[in-house]
Amino acid sequence: WKDGTVRTVEISSHEFTFAERRARLVVVNDVTERLAALEELKRSEAESAARARQQAAIAELGREAVAGAPLPALLDRAVCRVADVLGVEFCKVLELLPDRSVLLLRAGVGWPEGLVGTATADSGPHSQAGYTLQSKDPVVVEDLRTETRFSGPTLLVEYGVVSGVSVVVGDVAAPYGVLGAHTASRRTFSVHDVHFLQGLDVY
C-alpha cells in the first residue's frame, strides 16, 4: 500500500473477447483480515491442544502418585513427561540436600549419562535453581546469556541452555527442591507452562 503497509491479496483473472478485441477481467480481493483470523484460530486451537496435553500429564502423574508409585519412579516419569509435553531438550529435578547448601540432580532428561545422581548445583541465589528457592516463585528465563538476576550455572551453560523455567517442588516453606525445563533455543514460556510445572508437584 502507499502508506508502506503490506496486505495479502487474492487475484483471479479471466480472458475473454469484448467488442471483437481481446480483454481480461482481473479481480483483486484483500484477504489480509481473513487470513489473520484463520491464523488466530489455528493458534487458539494449538494452545487448547497444548493445555489439554498438560492437564492429561498432570492427571496421569497424579494417578501414579495416589497408586503409591515410589518417589524415584515418579520423578523420572515427571521429567520425561515435562520434556515431551513442553518440547524441550532438558528437564531436571534438583533435590535440596539436608545441609541446604547444595542441590543434587536427582532426575533428569537430556543430560549426559552419569550426571543424574552425581551432578550438583549451589543453592545460593546466584543460580537459577537457587534463585527459584530463594524467591519461592516460578522463574522464567528467556535468554540465560543476558540474564542479570543470576548467572548461568555450569550444568546449564556447558550444554548450551538458553531459555528455561523453574518452580519449587514441595512446600515452599520446606521445599524438596526445584523442577526445571530448559531448551537450547530462545523461547518464551507462557503462564500456562508455569502452571503446568506447578501442577506436577509429585513430591
Cell numbers for 76, please give them.
523420572
Closest CA to 182 of 105, 122, 113, 125: 105
Ordered per-residue pLDDT tens for the chain, 203 residues: 889 999 999 999 999 998 889 999 999 999 988 888 888 888 878 788 888 889 998 898 888 888 888 999 999 999 999 999 999 999 999 999 998 899 999 999 999 999 999 999 888 888 899 999 999 999 999 999 899 999 877 788 888 999 999 999 988 888 999 999 999 999 999 999 999 999 986 66
**Cell numbers representing residue 161 in the block:** 541452555
Cα–Cα–Cα angle for 127, 128, 132, rounded to 5 degrees? 115
User: Is the whole-model pTM more than 0.85?
Assistant: no
Q: How many residues appear in the chain?
A: 203
* 162-191-54-174 Cα dihedral, nearest 10 degrees: 80
Among 203, 191, 198, residue whose Cα is nearest residue 58: 198
What pLDDT, on a 0 to 100 scale, did the predictor assign at position 154? Answer: 77
For residue 93, give the nearest of 102, 104, 81 by alpha carbon. 104
pLDDT at 49: 84
The predicted structure's pLDDT at residue 203: 65
Residue-level pLDDT at 126:
87
DSSP sequence for 141-195? ES-GGG--SSPPPHHHHTTT--EEEEEEEEETTEEEEEEEEEESS-----HHHHH
